[in-house]
């Protein structure tokens, strides 16, 4: 069943209004007419219309002014602007202002046929626009639901990792073997580094990237509590530029920082002398970033046998490879600097 479309036709000429009403109703429309802008706005407020046709020349407020009022209404119906032969510039202006289409007045049945054709085109465009808005709304709602679910997943993962970290800490506290206790503590620190990424994703609005500078500040704060309260007086500092990276990259960088800081704390310094560990994050040309972890300790000889198990450096190498980065070991006048350079991903 085809439902007749309800048209509001606004024109100050009563004779033309009657002709338009009869002609359009013969063509299957339901037509209500108004003699001016104020009457038209009152009818729009009181009834629902599928389309409004507005003549430009009216006493008082013109059709162009009425158009502005109509398009300002929420979810307004499409508007077809009606002009005379010498008003095409106004019609173009009306199209820019929000009219769906325009019709130039002519004499005879051809004018009514033209009106009817423009109305059907406006309905089709309006239907497409409504479908587009509905699809966009549904997509936004689905995206919001997805983001909420993903944030909840990160929240649960962070909580689970925190629980595992607590279990490892309890096991370390009960372990009498010094080597076993150090291994468990190192494992706990690695778990914490990963958990902080998931916690950061849960608490921020954007779940696709992590603010690497903020994440490192949180990680370094936790590491500082560990290294600065030991028997070796260590100062741990961080300088970080604002860098956004994917979550997986943040995990890798966090694990690298954790391993390098832990290794420096354990092996770089004479216990009584202590020293300084400095972490720096900066952007590089092309959109990548550079991470350095430096100490002013005894220096590092990568050709010498590992002072510990060597697991920490194997983890660092593996994480750097996962980032597609270049890891260099520098030996300045004093101490050691590890520099990781990660280029921006290429766009295919």
127 phi-psi bin (left φ>0, alpha ψ -120 to 50, beta other)? alpha
More confident residue, 79 or 265: 79
59 in helix, strand or coil?
coil
Which two structure tokens, joined as six digits, stand for 161?
A: 């990792």
Query: How far is the C-alpha of 104 from the C-alpha of 47, rounded, in Å?
Result: 27
Q: Judge whether residue 3 has pLDDT over 60.
A: no
Closest CA to 114 of 15, 27, 12, 22: 27
Q: Judge whether residue 289 has pLDDT over 90.
A: yes
pLDDT at 129: 79
Q: Which of 33-37, 173-177, 228-232 has the lowest mean pLDDT?
A: 228-232
Q: Judge whether residue 291 has pLDDT over 90.
A: yes
pLDDT at 216: 87
What residue ranges do the domains of the chain occupy?
6-105, 209-348
Show Cβ contacts of residue 6 under 8 Å, excluding neighbours closer than 6 positions.
29, 30, 31, 32, 47, 48, 49, 50, 51
pLDDT at 232: 63
Closest CA to 34 of 46, 99, 94: 46
217 in helix, strand or coil?
helix
What pTM, to 2 d.p., does this model score?
A: 0.54
The class that CATH gives domain 6-105 is alpha beta
What would the mean pLDDT of 293-297 be, rounded to a whole number?
A: 87
Share of the chain above pLDDT 70, in %: 82
CA distances for 98 relative to 49, 55, 64, 113, 276, angstroms: 17, 15, 10, 23, 65
What would the mean pLDDT of 211-238 be, rounded to a whole number?
A: 78
pLDDT at 338: 92
CA distances for 76 relative to 95, 117, 138, angstroms: 15, 20, 20
228: buried, middle or exposed (CB in 10 Å: 19+, 13-18, 0-12)?
middle
Sign of CA dihedral 180, 184, 189, 190: positive
Show Cβ contacts of residue 8 under 8 Å, excluding neighbours closer than 6 positions.
31, 32, 33, 34, 40, 43, 44, 47, 49, 51, 52, 53, 77
Q: Which residues of 292-317 are buried (b: 16+ CB within 10 A; e: fewer)?
A: bbbbbbeebeeeeeeeeeeebbebbe
Query: How far is the C-alpha of 332 from the C-alpha of 277, rounded, in Å?
Result: 14
More confident residue, 194 or 71: 71
What would the mean pLDDT of 232-249 be, rounded to a whole number?
A: 86
pLDDT at 100: 86
Query: How far is the C-alpha of 316 from the C-alpha of 308, rounded, in Å?
Result: 14
Q: Judge whether residue 56 has pLDDT over 90.
A: no
Q: Supply the mean pLDDT for the chain.
A: 81
Q: Judge whether residue 107 has pLDDT over 60.
A: yes
For the stretch 311-336, pLDDT in tens is 788 888 998 998 899 999 887 667 88
Q: Can you name the CATH fold of 209-348?
A: Heat Shock Protein 90 (3.30.565)
pLDDT at 265: 81
Name the residue with tokens 């013109």: 62
User: Which of the four pLDDT bands, split at 50, 70 and 90, describes residue 39?
Assistant: very high
pLDDT at 334: 77
What would the mean pLDDT of 162-181 be, rounded to a whole number?
A: 74
Helical spans, DSSP H, in 98-246 = 109-174, 178-203, 212-227
Q: Using the 8-state DSSP alphabet, how is residue 20 labeled?
A: H
Which two structure tokens, joined as six digits, stand for 4?
A: 């007749």
Query: How far is the C-alpha of 230 from the C-alpha of 240, rounded, in Å?
Result: 25
Query: How far is the C-alpha of 183 from the C-alpha of 275, rounded, in Å?
Result: 23
What would the mean pLDDT of 116-123 be, rounded to a whole number?
A: 86
User: Which of the four pLDDT bands, split at 50, 70 and 90, describes residue 242?
Assistant: very high
Q: Judge whether residue 268 has pLDDT over 80.
A: no
Q: Which of 30-34, 84-88, 152-156, 234-238 has the lowest mean pLDDT?
A: 152-156
Q: Which of 85-89, 109-113, 301-305 has the lowest mean pLDDT?
A: 301-305
């Amino acid at each position: 069943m085809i439902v007749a479309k309800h048209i509001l036709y606004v024109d100050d000429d009563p004779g033309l209004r009657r002709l338009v009403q009869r002609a359009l109703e013969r063509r299957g429309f339901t037509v209500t007419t108004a003699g001016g802008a104020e009457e038209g706005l009152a009818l729009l407020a009181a009834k629902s219309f599928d389309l409004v046709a507005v003549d430009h020349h009216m006493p008082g407020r013109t059709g162009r002014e009425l158009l502005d009022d109509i398009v300002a209404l929420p979810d307004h119906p499409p508007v077809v602007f009606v002009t005379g032969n010498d008003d095409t510039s106004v019609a173009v202006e009306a199209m820019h202002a929000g009219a769906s289409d325009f019709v130039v007045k002519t004499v005879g049945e051809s004018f009514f046929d033209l009106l009817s054709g423009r109305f059907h085109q406006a309905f089709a465009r309006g239907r497409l626009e409504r479908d587009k808005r509905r699809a966009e709304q549904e997509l936004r709602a689905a995206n919001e639901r997805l983001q909420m679910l993903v944030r909840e997943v990160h929240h649960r993962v962070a909580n689970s990792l925190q629980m595992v970290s607590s279990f490892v800490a309890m096991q370390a506290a009960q372990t009498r073997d010094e080597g076993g206790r150090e291994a468990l503590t190192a494992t706990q620190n690695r778990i914490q580094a990963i958990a902080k990424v998931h916690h950061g994703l849960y608490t921020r609005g954007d779940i696709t990237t992590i603010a690497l500078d903020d994440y490192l500040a949180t990680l370094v704060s936790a590491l500082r509590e560990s290294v600065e309260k030991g028997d070796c007086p260590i100062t741990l500092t961080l300088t970080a530029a604002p860098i956004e990276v994917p979550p997986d990259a943040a995990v890798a960088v966090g694990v690298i920082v954790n391993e390098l800081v832990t290794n420096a704390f354990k092996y770089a310094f004479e216990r009584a002398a202590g020293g300084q560990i400095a972490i720096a994050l900066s952007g590089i040309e092309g959109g990548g970033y550079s991470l350095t972890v430096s100490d002013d300790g005894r220096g590092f000889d990568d050709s010498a046998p590992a002072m510990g198990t060597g697991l920490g450096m194997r983890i660092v190498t593996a994480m750097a490879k996962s980032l597609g980065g270049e890891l260099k070991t520098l030996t300045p006048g004093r101490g050691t600097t590890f520099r990781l350079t990660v280029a921006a991903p290429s766009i295919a």
